[in-house]
């Protein structure tokens, strides 16, 4: 069952098109990644889902219906623009947010205490936001998003600004919510989190969808065109006739092959050059490589369209 459907949704702000003819579906109980570079249209798409703004064309359905007040209790929304009340204690404002979502104060207080303990914030329940780090404040706002136990979570850049420990805590919380049957949509441009968590993705760039489907299917479309190579020595053997892109980090290199290039030729040239090979593996490209390929390709296409229409 699909709990979210965008059907040819378009949103304009005067002459600027923020989202153009966007369609995707989100399956119940899945984690869905809405991907794209800054300014691609991710936040506008989310705001159409939660009915902050309406599409100019097309439609957005939540649980098979257009968004209405009676659907709001089923949704938890963490906006990109964060905000807490500076003069209220953390616990008091979590209870307040629970009240807004329809919980009585006793239930809201119990949920707040459970989540504060889960996200390692119990010692800060009586503090006020200025006493907390930005990462702590972000975790508090996540609690405010889930305190009423919604069926659908919509998170706009939830990991932005978090340290690695807090990222892991929040990722585990999202994973546990999925196990409970919740549906999670989050927007991001951090591909590592997407590869670890998402079932399905939609990549948008310049307001337009450029790629979508299950993560497994998306990666499968590109085939095994990437070499993971751990080596010691110069990289002169990685020539443009074989290599489209070469990303070298501290422990290995990720090498995207040219179309039709033979991975074994890289190995042969490395041996001939006297390079020591510690690891050689032909793999599917990382989602980060796919992201770069799609985004740069879309930019090139957009430039061509401008030139043709000039």
The per-residue DSSP string of 225-279 comes to -EEEEEEES--TT--TTTEEEEEE-SS-EEEEEPTT--HHHHHHHHHHTTPEEEE
* Mean pLDDT confidence for 280-305: 70
> Which residues, 6 or more positions from 293, have their beta carbon under 8 angstroms from its beta carbon?
256, 285
pLDDT tens per residue across span 47-95: 999 999 999 999 999 999 998 888 888 999 999 877 899 999 999 999 9
Structural domain 224-283, CATH architecture: 2-Layer Sandwich (3.30)
pLDDT band at residue 297 under the 50/70/90 scheme: low
pLDDT tens per residue across span 68-78: 888 888 999 99
pLDDT tens per residue across span 213-229: 999 888 888 778 889 99
- Sorted by where each begins, the domain ranges of the chain are 2-215, 224-283
pLDDT tens per residue across span 244-266: 888 887 778 889 898 888 999 99
Q: Which CATH number fits domain 2-215: 1.10.1200.10, 1.10.1760.20, 2.60.120.10, 3.40.50.300?
A: 3.40.50.300
Q: From CA 49, how far away is CA 47, in angstroms rounded? A: 5
Which residues lie across from 42 on neighbouring strands?
A: none
* Mean pLDDT confidence for 125-138: 93
Say if 2-215 and 224-283 have the same CATH topology.
Answer: no
pLDDT of residue 193: 86
What mean pLDDT value characterizes the chain? 89
Q: From CA 233, how far away is CA 135, in angstroms rounded? A: 41
Cα–Cα distances (Å) from 289 to 64, 240, 293, 296, in that order, read 35, 17, 6, 11
Candidates 166, 174, 95; CA nearest to 133 is 166
pLDDT tens per residue across span 141-187: 999 999 999 999 999 999 888 888 889 999 999 999 999 999 999 99
pLDDT of residue 45: 96
User: What are the backbone angles phi and psi of residue 192, rounded to the nearest 5°?
Assistant: -60, -45
């Amino acid at each position: 069952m699909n709990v979210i459907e965008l059907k040819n949704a378009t949103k304009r702000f005067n002459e600027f098109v923020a989202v153009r003819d966007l369609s995707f579906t989100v399956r119940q109980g899945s984690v869905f990644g809405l991907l794209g570079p800054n300014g691609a249209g991710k936040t506008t798409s989310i705001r159409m889902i939660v009915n902050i703004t309406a599409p100019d064309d097309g439609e957005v359905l939540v649980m098979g219906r257009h968004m209405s007040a009676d659907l709001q209790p089923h949704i938890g929304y963490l906006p990109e623009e964060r905000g807490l009340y500076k003069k209220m204690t953390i616990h008091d404002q979590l209870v307040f947010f629970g009240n807004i979502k329809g919980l009585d104060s006793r239930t809201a207080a119990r949920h707040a205490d459970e989540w504060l303990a889960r996200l390692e914030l119990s010692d800060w329940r009586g503090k006020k936001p200025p006493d907390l780090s930005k990462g702590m404040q972000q975790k508090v706002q996540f609690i405010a998003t889930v305190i009423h136990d919604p069926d659908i979570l919509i998170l706009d850049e939830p990991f932005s600004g978090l340290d690695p420990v807090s990222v892991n805590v929040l990722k585990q919380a999202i994973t546990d919510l999925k196990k409970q049957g919740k549906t999670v949509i989050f927007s991001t441009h951090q591909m590592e989190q997407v590869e670890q968590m998402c079932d399905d993705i939609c990549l948008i760039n310049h307001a337009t969808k450029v790629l979508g489907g299950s993560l497994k299917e998306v990666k499968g479309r590109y085939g095994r065109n990437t070499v993971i190579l751990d080596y010691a020595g110069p990289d002169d053997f990685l020539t443009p006739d074989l290599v489209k892109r070469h990303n070298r980090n501290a422990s290995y290199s990720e090498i995207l092959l040219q179309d039709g290039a033979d991975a074994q030729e890289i190995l042969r040239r490395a041996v001939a050059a006297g390079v020591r090979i510690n690891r050689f593996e032909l793999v599917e490209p990382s989602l980060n490589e796919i992201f770069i390929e799609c985004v740069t390709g879309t930019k090139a296409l957009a430039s061509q369209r401008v030139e043709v229409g000039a």
